[in-house]
Amino acid sequence: LQKGDLDRAEPGESTLPTKFYSPFFTPLSQLGDFGIGVGLYFSSLRAVAFITLIAGCINLPNMFYYASDEYSRGQPGVNFLLKGSAICTEQVWVPCPTCTVDEFDTARSRIAGATTVTPDGELQTLVFALKNTCDGAKFQVGIVNMASLGFILLAIAALSLYQRRKQIIFDEQEQTAQDYSIEISNPPADSTEPEEWKEFFESRFSGHLTCCTVTIDN
C-alpha cells in the first residue's frame, strides 16, 4: 500500500485493528475498495456537482435579469428561492376570440369571459386571456442559454473520458478474481470436462487452477 491508501478488512477480521471508513475524510480514490461501481458512482457524483455549479454560474446573467425591475419589476410576491427564475408577475387581460376553455385546462384562472349585447340585441360572450408582458426572449438571454447548453454537452463528453480513466485507476488499485481469470473463446468441441482443463493448465503452466467452469453453447 502507498501512503494514504486504505485496505478494506475482510468480513470477520479479528486479528488486526480495524476502524470504519470516515464519511467525511475518506479520499475519493479509496472508494474503489467497495467495488469499481461504487467508486465510479461517487466520482461521477462529484463531477456532476461541479458541472452543474459551473452551468449555474454561466446562467447568472439571466438570473440577475429575471430578478431585475426591467423584467418583472423585481418579481414581487415570488418566493425568495424562486427569485431569478423566469416567473412573470406582470400580466394583462387581452381579448382572445379564438381561445377555448379546454386550452386552459391546467390554468382556468387565466381565461375569463364577459357577456355583452350586440347592436342587434343579441347576447355575445367576449373571451379574455391573461397575457404575460415580461420580455423573456431577449438576444442576451438566448446567448447565455446556448452557452450553458454547449458547456453541458462538452462536459458530458469529458465526463465519459473521466469515468473511463477512473475505472482504470480503481481497477488497478484492487485485486479481484478477474485479474487472475482467463477465458478460452475457441476451445475444441469435445473439451467439456473441467478436470481435463485443470490438468492441461497445471501441467502446461506449472501453476495452480483454483476454479474452472465450462459453459456449453447450445
User: Per the confidence metrics, is the pTM higher than 0.75?
Assistant: no
Q: Calculate mean pLDDT across residues 72-79.
A: 88
Q: Are 52 and 116 in contact (CB under 8 A)?
A: no
Q: Of 7, 27, 26, give the one whose Cα is nearest residue 17.
A: 7
Asked if the model's pLDDT at residue 3 lies above 60, the reply is: no
Per-residue pLDDT at 181: 81
Asked if the model's pLDDT at residue 84 lies above 50, the reply is: yes
Per-residue pLDDT at 5: 66
The pLDDT > 70 percentage for the chain reads: 95
Tell me phi and psi for residue 92, to 5 degrees: -145, 145
**pLDDT tens column, 30-52:** 877 788 888 899 999 999 999 99
Return the amino acid letter for 198.
K
Pairing of strands 91-95, 111-117: unpaired
SS (H, E, C) 77-127: CCCHHHCCCCCCCCEEEEECCCCCHHHHCCCHHHEEEEEEECCCCCEEEEE
Q: Calculate mean pLDDT across residues 89-113.
A: 90
CA distance 52 to 148: 10
**pLDDT tens column, 145-187:** 999 999 999 999 999 999 999 888 888 777 667 777 888 888 8
Per-residue pLDDT at 4: 55
DSSP string, the chain: --TT---PPPTT--SS---PPPTTT--GGGGGGG-HHHHHHHHHHHHHHHHHHHHHHHTHHHHHHHTSHHHHTT-TT--GGGTTSS----EEEEE-TT--GGGGTT-GGGEEEEEEE-TTS-EEEEEEEEEE------HHHHHHHHHHHHHHHHHHHHHHHHHHHHHHHHHHHS--GGGG----SS--TT---HHHHHHHHHHHHSS-----------
Using CA atoms, how far residue 3 sits from 19, 20, 43, 158, 171, in Å, is 17, 18, 21, 29, 18
Per-residue pLDDT at 1: 46
Q: Are 131 and 94 in contact (CB under 8 A)?
A: yes
Q: Of 129, 77, 122, give the one whose Cα is nearest residue 101.
A: 129
Tell me phi and psi for residue 30, to 5 degrees: -95, -5
The pLDDT > 90 percentage for the chain reads: 34
Per-residue pLDDT at 116: 85
